[in-house]
Chains A and B, each alone.
Chain A
Amino acid sequence: MALNKQNYSVDNKYLIALLFLGLQCISIAMVVWSNDNQNLIFNNSVKIFTNKIGVQTAGLSNYLNLSNIIDSLVDENAQLIEQLENNRKLINKSGSIDLDQYYTVVAARVIRKTKDKLNNYVMLDKGSNDGVNITSGVLSNQGVVGQVVQVSENFSRVMTLEHSNAKISVKSKNAKYFGIMSWDTWSTNRYIIKDYPKYLDIKVGDTILTSGYSTIFPDSIPLGKVVDFSEQIEEDRLLVEVELFKDVLEPDYVYILKNNDRKEIDSLFQDGH
């Protein structure tokens, strides 16, 4: 027996409409509020709880990937030792060098990543107990990952370069120009440098490095390669497209650069959460 669908309804139409609109407004408010707000204390406590679970699952998947990880770590060690030896030679040669350590490096494991969103963050398993503070730079073994924006006792949250507010000061290997590179917010591993002067003769395949202008990242860290450039409306400026050597969300292990210099750090990253 078919019931007339119009008549059989114990649902209060007004309550439903009210509930729907009200809850939607709350949801949209949350979306908008969280984008601008810098203080996610409430989320933080939940995050710490869920990250404990995240650490366990990350541990399992890391175990399965162990031999690859070992390989890349061994490669890195080789490079580091090489650099160390080179630097030692330099120091011995010139005689008086400031030996204050500018950065200390803390290795950390990525326990959670957000992917395919407008603002991408990764979560690391080192926190203030390990000496990490806000505005520490984060590197992978092949470039820059991002900057620490939130720290709790045992975890930290990193705003990666794939973030609508992320900017990093860069330079080309041969030129003296300093530009600002940001994510094109659309594709994976595509970044743009605006207003690049045409006269500097940039070519596809040129290496882009950190400029050392900010104190967050060391000088001349290779970031990626130029893959394309196009003319902007102002005739002598180019829009340069860069692809990083290593996608910012790929690595499972990163290195946090703790800046030992206690002076005020001029941050080129705008703090957007």
Chain B
Amino acid sequence: MLFVLVLFLQLFLFNQINLFIPAEYSPYVLIYPLFYLLLPVQFNRSFLILMAFVLGLIIDFSQDSLGVHAGASVMGAFCRKYVLNILESKTGFSSNSVPNLRENELLWIMQYNFIVLFIHGLWLFTLEIFTFYFVFSILIKALLTAAISTIALLIIQLLYRSK
């Protein structure tokens, strides 16, 4: 699993080069949240938050971005449980279930990814901009980031499933 983590980092670096044109509303393409999105549902939550923090921290260091991704990852990992609770399907989760494409529908995965990524994105840009004067910009950025990252993550998960 650690190997996959490093792979995520690489992908994230690649997506880093692909910066778009807009200025105030530029989104990021985030791949690394996939790490804490794909962990089993009943995974020890405190350990999950800790790992998400470390992952975010590594991203921060490679990107000079202070503590921004670390904070956002912690927020995302924390809210993951609540999102899963809300989105829980009728059959519920078994003790081993993992929120990946093997066990769930594409649409469900999309919703799950998007919501958690949106929360992640909101907190990320809030920390980055650090004032509430630019609330609108934060919202737009978070939405766009969540959208683009969801698409990217879906592609990755689809690729991985067919492997």
Residues of A whose CB lies within 8 Å of any CB of B are 1-3, 5, 8-12, 15-16, 19-20, 23-24, 26-31, 34-35, 43, 46-47, 50, 57, 61, 114-118, 121, 186-188
Known: A28-B127, A116-B19. A35 touches B70 (CB 8 A): no
Residues of chain A within 8 A of B45, CB atoms compared: 11, 16
**Which of the segments B86-94, B113-121, B150-158 contacts the partner chain?**
B86-94
Residues of chain A within 8 A of B44, CB atoms compared: 10-11
Residues of chain A within 8 A of B91, CB atoms compared: 2
Q: How far is the CB of B107 from chain A (nearest CB, A)?
A: 20
- Once bound together, how far apart are the Cα atoms of A187 and B45, in whole Å? 40
Known: A2-B91, A27-B68. A19 touches B19 (CB 8 A): no
Tell me whether A29 and B67 are in contact (CB under 8 A): yes
- Which of A8, A11, A12, A61 has the most B CB atoms < 10 Å from its CB? A11
Which residue of the partner chain A has the closest CB to B130?
A31
B42 within 8 A of A: yes
Which of B24, B67, B71, B75 sits near A187, CB closer than 8 Å?
B24
A-B contact pairs, 12 of them (CB 8 A): A3-B92, A8-B95, A19-B46, A24-B71, A27-B71, A30-B67, A30-B70, A35-B66, A115-B26, A116-B23, A118-B128, A186-B24
Tell me whether B46 and A1 are in contact (CB under 8 A): no
B40-82 vs A, Cβ < 8 Å mask (1 yes, 0 no): 0010111001100100100011111111101100110010000
- Once bound together, how far apart are the Cα atoms of A9 and B42, in whole Å? 7
B5 within 8 A of A: no
Tell me whether B23 and A27 are in contact (CB under 8 A): no
- Once bound together, how far apart are the Cα atoms of A8 and B75, in whole Å? 23
Known: A2-B91, A10-B42, A186-B24. A23 touches B66 (CB 8 A): no
B17 within 8 A of A: yes
Q: How far is the CB of B141 from chain A (nearest CB, A)?
A: 9
Which of B49, B88, B134 sits near A16, CB closer than 8 Å?
B49
Which residue of the partner chain B has the closest CB to A42?
B61
B106 within 8 A of A: no
B135 within 8 A of A: no
Tell me whether A27 and B67 are in contact (CB under 8 A): yes
Tell me whether A57 and B17 are in contact (CB under 8 A): yes
Q: How far is the CB of A244 from chain B (nearest CB, A)?
A: 14
Known: A24-B74, A116-B19. A3 touches B68 (CB 8 A): no
Tell me whether B46 and A12 are in contact (CB under 8 A): yes
- Once bound together, how far apart are the Cα atoms of A2 and B92, in whole Å? 5
B85 within 8 A of A: yes
Tell me whether A23 and B129 are in contact (CB under 8 A): no
